[in-house]
Structure 1
Amino acid sequence: MVLQNYAFRGNFELKTLLILSAIKADHLRVMGYINRLDNFDGQAVGKAAVKAHLYEEAFASFKKFNLNVEAVNVLLDNLQNIDRAMEFAFRVEEDSVWSQVAKAKLRKGLVSDAIDLFIRANDGTHYLEVIKVAEDANKYHDLVKYLLMVRKKTKKPKVDSELIYAYAKIGQLGEIEKFLLMPNVSNLPNVGDRLYDEALYEAAKIIFAFIPDWAKLAVTLTKLQQFQDAVDAARKANSLKTWKDVCFACIDAGESSLAQICGLNVIVQVTLFLGYIYIYFFSTVILSPCLEFSIY
């Protein structure tokens, strides 16, 4: 009646009901109805077709009404055909569709392809997942490209910090130095500690010098066998622990003259420390009781 009677051809509800009924009772007619009819609820029909495992019919319904994200998700999630999804994405050229394909690529571990598609989609919303998967796969060159895109869209400490780390992993120390001179929201102390812990000492040196954190810079310089610079940094830090750390490093390396300088400063620091203890002891244990006694 709906197909043959002109009075019913424009009836949105009846045409939708016809297809939904066919999905439940007559699967073979569903695709024909979707192709022949217009002006029905493509969203409802597509969802019902997915539930009935009529995935080609669902794809056809979604595509007919330009519900392209839903359509590509049928290809990716139900038909599991990423090649068809790519072809469809090229055809519709929508950022949201490219994003769905990118996520599917990422789930499959195709990190480089996924990142290229996220960049094509101009989609930086999934940066946490991308960072984790890219680092697990050691895809730091690709990660740098992605993070440079993301930081144009959002200012997040995680993004800027991971960009510095990625630069360090691929040995682009010059890019780190340039980046530090630009406005950024990276967590430099955390990045520096991470680089040091992973023995990326040249990159850690740049970070600690920029902050500056003289104590950590001094220890980092000893790892790089740059002992004179380490002593200079220890002098600026001027703490007992730093002098001791640099002193022992110099002794281990046979740098006796530098070790002597550090040792003398250790003595000075210890002497000062003992002096403070003596002052505290004198003022609290001896002087205070005497004052109290004199008052009484």
Structure 2
Amino acid sequence: MNTQHTPLFCDLELAERIERAEAQLIEATARAAHRRLADGRGFVLPVAGGLAVFAGDDSPFNKVVGLGFGGVPTDDELDEIEKAHAGVGTPVQVELTHLADPEIGPVLTRRGYQLESFENVLGIAIEDEYDVTMPDGVVIRPSGDDELDRWLNLMADAVAAPDTQGVPWREEFPRDTYIESERDGVAAGVARYAVLRNGELAGGGGLRTADGIAQFAGAATLPAHRRHGIQSALLATRLADAAAAGCDVGVITTQPGSKSQQNAQRSGFTLLYTRAVLVKHV
């Protein structure tokens, strides 16, 4: 895989494209959770060009996404969102890119939102085609429906033993919650990949393509198979598939300074922007 890329520059138009794609993915995944749970508690509320989403108790998809490019949320909109979150007993978590309208941060701060963490969004201009070279003994293939439960359990096992490099994720989710959230992502159209090393299932990852944006939706390797080039090969494979799907931009979200960020940058991704995570307990 060629790693000599012209760094992708992120202007406001590109940031808005990426945030819109992220909001669409979160909405689709949340609606899959609503169908699975069928308890009438879930919601998706529009707010200033973005969405406030509650997928289910403890879900990683409970968040406000896509703010910053459709005006500043009004007090009435924020009142509605905070009331809805209070009704299901969960805090309001806003993920706000640093390229968003600068008036939004002070509005949230005045209402009691507190900065809790950051996450990085990296991107790459997708080439016309890729020559993917596999490390010795590694095979990457689509993961079929017949092995869905096995794939879900493998991913849960892999993320339960995270790399310690960089800033840790601010949230940890119960194993069952993680598995069901991944299941909802599959129902929302995330394609699954299985990685085998020396014939053993060693890792997996996901990819969603929409409107020219390829979202690298989660990737994990079991501890015994790490440091053998699996993550780089998985990135290259998904980039090739994104190119075949006609995408022009690929994006991945990582923790700052993490091994995932390092692997992405080695594969040609550039840091585009940072999201601040602001939380209000209601």
Q: Give the number of the structure with larger relative contact order, counting CA–CA contacts within 8 Å between residues 6 or more apart.
A: 2
Normalized per residue, the structure richer in strand is 2
TM-score, structure 2 normalization: 0.21
Normalized per residue, the structure richer in helix is 1
TM-score, structure 1 normalization: 0.20
